Structure 1
Amino acid sequence: MPRPRRRLANTCVGTVTAGLLATGATLAVPEDEELPGSSPDIAVGAYLDFGPPGVERIPYLSRWLGGREIRVGHTYLPGDRWAGIEGNVSFLDDWARWRLARPDRLFVLNVPMQERNEGRVPDHEVARLIRAGAAGDFDEHFRRLAQRLVDLGVPDTVVVLGWEMNGVTYTHRCSPDPENWKAYWRRIVGTMRSVPGQRFKFDFAPNRGSDAIGWTTCYPGDDVVDIIGMDSYDQGPGRTFDDQITQPYGLQHHVDFAKAHGKPISYPEWGLFRRGDNPEYVRRMLRWIEQQKPMYHTITDYCPHGVWQCKQNPRSAKEFRKALTPQVPPPVVPTPVVPTPVVPTPVVPTPVVPTPVVPTPVVPTPSVPVPSVPTPSVSVPAVPT
């Protein structure tokens, strides 16, 4: 199945320009229609480029989506040599700075399990390498990677280890020796978890469908898997989206399997492919994502899979943008305040009627003379001694 990688010569990825930002307009949606992919609880991302351009393009994608927050940064370690798998690449510094800028962001890192990962290594050699990994021959490479991520300040990285292991493309495929492959996965997880300070989450992400082997055969165990993902592109097996849901090892099987094992789900890779510009697929996939509530999803955004950097899918781009652009409520138009005219009440002066002053007549009190009564003089007789 297609996947982002360092060799992008055959893709339509170009420099992000103002023209990308100017295309399209927010589309109206009936009020009674639920928008697929609109839930703010689902972390949204896109693979835009493996290195610094991928980091730089994130805010432009957010603007194109009407301010939708891009919470997932997604990149891949090169699988050509062990040095790359150990994280000895400078672009990890750029992604770490982006992740640390906000606490609610997720950094998703696809990690190959073998060097020469796209080298068309034959099955018998793959089987030998799987056995060597299960025996611990490659432990030190993954210990160095874990230490590098911890030192960068991203010990909570989501590690998509050995992705699409049920297919035929990669050297880290499972089918040549499933039992030892599971032992090898367990050994890698144990090695990385042994590094002090780590809080990694390991995402087990097969291709949709059976491919070379039923992906459940490769499942290494609940104690070494934190998330069960699925890469799903618009291609066979299955002619319709309903087929993609119901087919063996399809979308419904993925959801049911994760629920049975008590794990959250993810869609690290999804996008258009064999059927070209297919807005119905984009609409149905986003509706499915909205219903299943994965931990995160990231569309592969270069040609032929993408919708923003790939101009050959304009109808799908409109559907994607309509679904993920936050629905801003219409502005509240204030009711104009019509002032009530104040009619002044005329002041009618009350006439002041003077009270006449009636003088109180002064009645003189008559003076009554008091008669003077003389006291009689009584003579006392002299008594002889």
Structure 2
Amino acid sequence: MPEYHPDRRPPSSRRPSFHDLVPENERHPAPQRSFREVRARRSRLPWIAAVLALLVVAGGVGIALRPHDEPRRATGATGVTASAPPADTGEQAPAAPRKTTGAEKNVSLAVFRSASPASVGQFSDWLGRDVDYVVDFSRRLSWDQIANPIDHLSLWRNSGYRVVYGVAMLPEARSDTSTIAAGARGEYDQYYRTLAQNLVRYGQGDAILRLGWEFNVANSTWHPDDPQEFITYWRNIVRTMRAVPGAQNLEFDWNVNSGGDSYDSTVFYPGDKYVDYVGVDVYDIAWADGTYPYPTGCGAPCRRQRQEAAWKAALNARFGLIFWSDFAEARGKPMSFPEWGLWDRPDGQGGGDNPYFIEQMHDFIDNPHNNVAYHAYFDYDVGEKGDHRLASFPKAGKKFARLFGEQT
């Protein structure tokens, strides 16, 4: 995620994104049996077996029908593969009419706009559609802050929103010496018992908890080294919180940062009994050749080609969106997008005002095969590290409102 901390706004740093999840010398060795070994990625539906050739006698022209994309992989009317760019005139060809399934309207809509119910209400008014869930992050510098986030619980009490909380697995204070290994021994269970009791007391016993969100990012405070310790600790927390009277409706989102080709996060999956959602955070950023930053003089066709290449990388990386959709289905879990968004970055590695990314995310969410339960746009300015706010992107903001807003 773009680093957000309620104790310091805007933040001074961010966690790395998928291109640098783990430095080469810190990558965990491949597991003996990974997800890809126990279940191969689903094959595409068969392509059309033969190409029909109809000769138009009068014109002598052969018309060949192109094979159709398999519905499981298609993400929209525009597809994900960049075609040969037209002449760079600065104008973009009109988009083809878009088709939707209507499934997206049954997916719960969330937003992150800092800890501000009023700001969330403004977002709903702008969109013309009620927000179902809100994303928030409580303070986490100490165990007391993790266990007793009373200010945040009070803020969302009786708000009408279901809250998705980022819940730390370890305090982030530099002086704290807590470890995942100690958590696996049950030494921190008391704090999560208190947290569950507080959630129930403040009427949020149905909250969704992103426990140790983005644990697969290299410099996360709770980035794990040992899979079994992480799994045992996660299970301890879930069992402890579920045992609190009134907390039986708490749900737990096992939430990774998407992308990359080297880091297999699935070795840290704690088991189906302890997970309710497979969550993926994804932003419009890329470091691959032919993506971002845009070169000088890059007009509309040039930008579109690079945006398509960036989306294709996000979708098709070894641990990209298709991988996580397949993994969630294999585990019998719905997907979620607890954070997603555009990114205008000072280093140019984000797509900026990119309606194409909005379209493709909409189509992925709208595809019922991906079984997305909820998604949250990260509508926040992270200061010196860049901006995600839809208000900062006129074209993409308009596209978001049209696709995700109330349609009459």
Shift of 1:79: 1.7
Shift of 1:2: 1.3
Q: Tell me: CA distance 1:90–1:218, structure 2 relative to 1, closer, same or farther (3 Å).
A: same
Aligned twin of 1:319: 399
In 2, Cα distance between the equivalents of 1:162 and 1:290? 27
Greater RCO (Cα-Cα under 8 Å, separation 6 or more): 2
Aligned mate of 1:79, from 140, 164, 167: 140
Identity rate, percent: 32
Could you list the per-position Cα deviations for residues 339-366 of structure 1 after superposition, in whole angstroms to 9, with x for gaps in the alignment?
xxxxxxxxxxxxxxxxxxxxxxxxxxxx
Shift of 1:45: 1.3
Shift of 1:120: 10
TM-score, normalised relative to structure 2: 0.67
Shift of 1:150: 0.8
Q: Tell me: CA distance 1:61–1:235, structure 2 relative to 1, closer, same or farther (3 Å).
A: same
SS for the counterpart of 2:99 is coil
Q: What's the RMSD between the two structures over aligned residues?
A: 2.5
1:39 correspondence with 2:104: yes
Shift of 1:315: 2.0
Could you list the per-position Cα deviations for residues 286-318 of structure 1 after superposition, in whole angstroms to 9, with x for gaps in the alignment?
21111134110001111235334x52x222212
* Contact 1:37–1:323, Cα closer than 8 Å, also in 2: no
Counterpart amino acid of residue 4 in structure 1: Y
Aligned mate of 1:116, from 172, 181, 194: 172
Q: Tell me: CA distance 1:201–1:237, structure 2 relative to 1, closer, same or farther (3 Å).
A: farther
Aligned mate of 2:238, from 175, 184, 189: 189
SS for the counterpart of 1:60 is helix
Aligned mate of 2:154, from 60, 78, 93: 93
In 1, Cα distance between the equivalents of 2:251 and 2:114? 22
Counterpart amino acid of residue 398 in structure 2: K
In 2, Cα distance between the equivalents of 1:30 and 1:242? 18
Aligned twin of 1:364: none
Counterpart amino acid of residue 204 in structure 2: V
- For structure 2, the 5+ residue unaligned runs are 13-93, 292-309, 344-349
TM-score, normalised relative to structure 1: 0.70
Aligned twin of 1:371: none
SS for the counterpart of 2:375 is strand
1:288 correspondence with 2:358: no
Counterpart amino acid of residue 109 in structure 2: V
Aligned twin of 1:252: 322
Counterpart amino acid of residue 2 in structure 1: P
Q: Tell me: CA distance 1:36–1:5, structure 2 relative to 1, closer, same or farther (3 Å).
A: farther
- For structure 1, the 5+ residue unaligned runs are 12-28, 100-104, 329-385
Counterpart amino acid of residue 148 in structure 1: N
Aligned twin of 1:220: 270
In 2, Cα distance between the equivalents of 1:143 and 1:257? 30
SS for the counterpart of 2:372 is coil
Aligned twin of 1:61: 123
In 2, Cα distance between the equivalents of 1:152 and 1:212? 42
In 1, Cα distance between the equivalents of 2:95 and 2:279? 32
Counterpart amino acid of residue 279 in structure 1: P
Could you list the per-position Cα deviations for residues 141-191 of structure 1 after superposition, in whole angstroms to 9, with x for gaps in the alignment?
1000000001112111111100001111321112x2222011111111111
In 1, Cα distance between the equivalents of 2:254 and 2:169? 12
Q: Tell me: CA distance 1:164–1:256, structure 2 relative to 1, closer, same or farther (3 Å).
A: same
* Contact 1:36–1:283, Cα closer than 8 Å, also in 2: no
In 2, Cα distance between the equivalents of 1:78 and 1:168? 21
Q: Tell me: CA distance 1:172–1:211, structure 2 relative to 1, closer, same or farther (3 Å).
A: farther
1:297 correspondence with 2:353: no
Shift of 1:88: 3.2
In 1, Cα distance between the equivalents of 2:102 and 2:213? 24
Aligned twin of 1:234: 284
